Amino acid sequence: MKKLQGIQRYYHRLRQSESGSDYYIEPRENCPTSVLNRSDKFVILTFDKDDDYIVVNNKRYYLTKRVAIKATDKLQRRIAVVDIDELEQSKSYMFDEKFTRSNTFKVDSFDDLRALARDQFKINGAPYIKQLLRSNRYYYEPSFSRKVISA
């Protein structure tokens, strides 16, 4: 069996329907409690499908399999659970403002990103996402929001 790395050690996508369109992105059963109780480790973000990265302090950080578990790729505005520790250790690239799109996620610093994670954690602990496909529309129920996000 292949050894899991990065966020894959802690999170997985649990399929709920035969078609694979309904699923949860949630912590693994064997994820250590000490990891799940860290309020500044995981964050749910939206990002632009064409970017596949987020911008922190004017640098691009790609949302690779080591860093993030992403929801569907069939929408322009995507959503993902991101491991901030892994993101911070990943390679960064300079970002040019002329490449900003309507869904490009930008934040000034990793401190701001961790503050966002702490705010999300206050509402429901370790983050998770539920994706449902109903009437040809995707609906997301992230743990930190009481409202349903549709896209």
- Cross-sheet strand order for the sheet of 137-142: 11-15, 23-27, 129-134, 137-142, 149-150
CB-side exposure of 1: number of CA atoms within 13 Å?
A: 3
Flag the least confident range among 17-31, 43-57, 76-90.
17-31
Determine the pLDDT at residue 55.
97
pLDDT above 90 coverage of the chain, percent = 66
Determine the pLDDT at residue 26.
93
| pLDDT band for position 112 (cuts 50, 70, 90) | very high
pTM: 0.89
Query: In terms of Cα–Cα distance, which of 19, 2, 22, 18 is closest to 129?
Result: 22
pLDDT, tens digit, for every residue of 66-91? 999 998 777 888 999 999 999 999 99
Dist. CA 29–CA 147, nearest whole Å: 26
Residue 135 in this model has a pLDDT that exceeds 70? yes
On whether the CB atoms of residues 82 and 55 are closer than 8 A, the answer is no
